[in-house]
Amino acid sequence: MKRRVLVASNRGPVSYRFGADGSLTGRRGGGGLVAGVGSGLAAVAPEAEVSWICAALSDADRAAARSGAADLTEPGDVPVQMLDIPPDTLDRAYNNVANSVLWFVHHMLFDTPDQPQFGPGFRPDWAAYLAYNQAFADALAQRSAPGGGERLGGVRALIQDYHLSLVPRMLRDRLGGAAGDVGIAHFSHTPWAPADYYRLLPEEAGRAVLDGILGADQAGFHAARWAAAFLDCCETILGAHVDRDDAGGKVTYRGHVTEVAVHPLGVDAVSLRARAGASDVRAQVTSLSQATAGRKLIVRVDRTELSKNILRGLAAYRELLATRPEWHGRVVHLAFAYPSRSAVPAYRAYTDRVRQIAAEIAAEFGTPDWNPLILDVKDDYPRSLAACALADVLLVNPIRDGMNLVAQEGPVLSEKGCALVLSREAGAAATLGGDALLVNPFDISETAEALHRALAMPEAERRRRSDAIAAIAAASQPARWLGDQLAGLDR
């Protein structure tokens, strides 16, 4: 009998939209988590019964979930179950807790003289987060025991990210004595906050998140520093017994042992390069080559997410042009800043600020025959792949990042070798730091100097560094990343 692999995440591998006649049309979902998990699942699907549980995020998704359309897939695709969670519950859990509290804590984004403020409004938001996680735990428990109680051998539940941090404990409680039949893993795609910063959370919430993840048999992280921070929080906040080792450690709490493991995620280099060879990408390569007219190209590809540090990246480019006039007319910065989380006011304001700074740089340094900065505030995947293929320099300078796939995708796609300027606060720095130019993401002058070094780097050195990063990225492809987690559960 095949083992059953259940994946749970907020966003799933498919989303729906209404046609003009009211019909539903599905399309593949996006995002780094979906891409990484989906690619990994493709490798294990032939040997397992795979299902993906996600939330219905739009009215069209809810209509699909109610009609059962979300359970229908094309041949070879993973069956998807969309949960029709009440919109108000989803909004409070997703926007008010997951994205405005937990994301901010783990990325250390709070302006602490003013935020956070956990007043009366937080308690109903937290209740919604509980209900949201309960919906996922119920669905996983039901799928763990199909056929009215006859359990499949080797059920594995892979629960993804900070949206669902309470689910492992809830699922274990629902399974009761049968919990031993189901291997439960939770993976955090974000950083993990140091214990002193984590204490910003209300005690009930902070303890519940830790306790929730410790319901899993395995808790995974992209980098050793995030795993170490999680272990510290378990020890200092919960008083749990912690054993540390070079690969992570173990936490004993409430009579259960959770393995804490490190699994860096790379990219599917073969599929990525094949996609970059498609006609729509090649057309964009031609268009960008004409637009940059043979000049050096600095590329960044990000969402307008506060942690991505786009404003300081623009400030560093501005300082490069102000202090290194030899680059005037010889370099173009192509910045992709895809809109993100527009329901959160801080994100809308951030996007506006990105637009403003970019316009100021163009006005300050541009000439009739040279546009120093091209800002694309729209989601254009083929164009971003083309930009990575042409880049001389890739700028990835997040304030904090669980891993960062762009830092790996750029060198994999590069046609001539690109120099990577990388924040030391990205999880990817642990694996790529030897060949990247590491910077303090808060030091604009240091970043400007690194951009200069990258632009001036000899071609042979740039190619060597780029090839080395591409090899590291390809070695940790999603199939291996997911397979290692499943192997850990099997042990």
In CATH, the architecture of 3-265+479-490 is: 3-Layer(aba) Sandwich (3.40)
What integer is the mean pLDDT of 106-111? 96
pLDDT computed for residue 32 by the predictor: 61
pLDDT class for 71, splitting at 50, 70, 90? low
Least confident of 48-57, 126-135, 300-309, 349-358: 48-57
CA distance 379 to 475: 28
| Residue 256 CB-density burial (10 A; 0-12 exposed, 13-18 middle, 19+ buried) | middle
CB 144 within 8 Å of CB 151: yes
Strands 24-28 and 14-18: antiparallel
Between the CA of residue 50 and those of 182, 194, 254, 485, what are the distances in Å? 14, 35, 30, 15
In terms of CATH, what superfamily is 269-475?
Answer: Glycogen Phosphorylase B; (3.40.50.2000)
What integer is the mean pLDDT of 465-482? 94
Q: Report residue 287 as tokens.
A: 């268009």
What integer is the mean pLDDT of 470-488? 92
Residue 183 pLDDT greater than 90, yes or no = yes
CA distance 249 to 32: 26
CA distance 96 to 132: 12
pLDDT computed for residue 48 by the predictor: 76
User: Which amino acid, one-letter code, is at 337?
Assistant: A
Residue 35 pLDDT greater than 90, yes or no = no
pTM: 0.93
Residue 228 pLDDT greater than 50, yes or no = yes
Residue 190 pLDDT greater than 90, yes or no = yes
pLDDT computed for residue 31 by the predictor: 61
Strands 182-188 and 155-160: parallel
- Helical packing angle, 279-292 and 381-390, nearest 10°: 60
Give SS3 for 26.
strand
Percent of the chain with pLDDT strictly greater than 90: 77
Percent of the chain with pLDDT strictly greater than 70: 93
CA distance 183 to 5: 10
Residue 357 pLDDT greater than 60, yes or no = yes
Residue 75 pLDDT greater than 50, yes or no = no
Of the two residues 71 and 115, the one the predictor is more confident about is 115
pLDDT class for 293, splitting at 50, 70, 90? confident
Residue 143 pLDDT greater than 60, yes or no = yes
Residue 432 pLDDT greater than 60, yes or no = yes
Of the two residues 181 and 186, the one the predictor is more confident about is 186
pLDDT class for 340, splitting at 50, 70, 90? confident
| Domain chopping of the chain, boundaries | 3-265+479-490, 269-475
Exposed e or buried b per residue across 48-59, where buried means at least 16 C-beta atoms within 10 angstroms of its C-beta: bbbbbbbbbbee
Residue 151 pLDDT greater than 70, yes or no = no
CA distance 101 to 114: 14
Equal CATH topology for 3-265+479-490 and 269-475: yes
